[in-house]
């Protein structure tokens, strides 16, 4: 069974739009917003890998690897900041995040 490029692109765009809808529909919980951003990164990386395979070029795979590395570091730092903020304030809602500025 041969799977063409369009089916992979549908999966990639579906992942991206699930992440986008997660950000648009859920503005209260910051953890779910971070997970939605990671889903968007996954959709974009899947797109890079698809085109890298179909164009027979390794540059897209290398670029996807760097994006995954930066996204993992970003989520680790973001979660560490959220844990510290939760220890200080006792609540993690987006409405009260502006208190970090002071």
Tell me how far apart the alpha carbons of residues 43 and 35 are, in angstroms, rounded to a whole number.
13
End-to-end C-alpha distance for the chain, whole angstroms: 59
What is residue 4's predicted lDDT score, i.e. its pLDDT? Answer: 84
The answer to whether the CB of 93 falls within 8 A of the CB of 33 is no
Overall residue count recorded for the chain in this entry: 102
Domains in the chain (CATH in brackets) are 5-90 (1.10.287.3510)
Stretches in the chain below the pLDDT threshold 70: 1-2, 96-102
Tell me how far apart the alpha carbons of residues 102 and 55 are, in angstroms, rounded to a whole number.
50
């Amino acid at each position: 069974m041969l799977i063409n490029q369009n089916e992979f692109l549908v999966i990639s765009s579906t992942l991206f739009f699930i992440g986008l809808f997660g950000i648009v529909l859920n503005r209260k919980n910051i953890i779910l917003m971070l997970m939605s951003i990671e889903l968007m990164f996954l959709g974009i990386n899947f797109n890079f890998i698809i085109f890298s395979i179909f164009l027979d070029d390794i540059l897209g795979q290398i670029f996807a690897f760097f994006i995954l590395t930066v996204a993992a570091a970003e989520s680790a730092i973001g979660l560490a900041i959220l844990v510290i903020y939760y220890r200080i304030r006792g609540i993690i809602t987006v409405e009260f995040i502006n208190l970090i500025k002071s």
